[in-house]
């Protein structure tokens, strides 16, 4: 019995929207939505430009770093809430680890 078994090579890829990572595409999509809510063409163009600039800044910030750099940065810099807390890791305000 010979079967063609597909073996995935990249299990830990980050989520994508088209060609972009989700954390790079999210500011553009959010600012498009905000610009659409304003019902003004000039404000939509301004919001779109801000979204593109913000996503380019995030892409440059992420360059040459771990693929989950944005998630790690958010964990260490946002306040802990029950929705964002993790049980296996210490709270983000404990910066000094002993052991």
Paired with 20 in beta bridges are 17
27-60 residue pLDDT tens: 999 999 999 999 999 999 999 999 999 999 988 8
pLDDT-based confidence at residue 24 (cuts at 50, 70, 90): confident
Residue 74: the pLDDT is 78
Q: Which of 4-13, 25-34, 82-91 has the lowest mean pLDDT?
A: 82-91
Which one is predicted more confidently, 32 or 72? Answer: 32
Domain ranges for the chain, please list them: 16-64
61's enclosing H/E stretch is: helix 41-62
Q: In this structure, how many other beta carbons lie within 10 angstroms of the beta carbon of residue 20?
A: 15
Paired with 17 in beta bridges are 20
Q: Is the pTM of this model over 0.95?
A: no
């Amino acid at each position: 019995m010979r079967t063609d078994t597909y073996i995935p090579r990249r299990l830990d890829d980050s989520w994508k929207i088209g060609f972009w990572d989700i954390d790079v595409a999210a500011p553009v999509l959010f600012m498009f939505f905000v610009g659409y809510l304003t019902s003004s063409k000039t404000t939509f163009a301004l919001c779109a430009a801000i979204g593109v600039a913000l996503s380019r800044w995030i892409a440059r910030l992420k360059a040459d770093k771990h693929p989950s750099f944005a998630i790690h940065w958010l964990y260490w810099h946002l306040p802990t809430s029950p929705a964002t807390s993790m049980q296996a890791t210490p709270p983000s305000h404990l910066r000094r680890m002993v052991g």
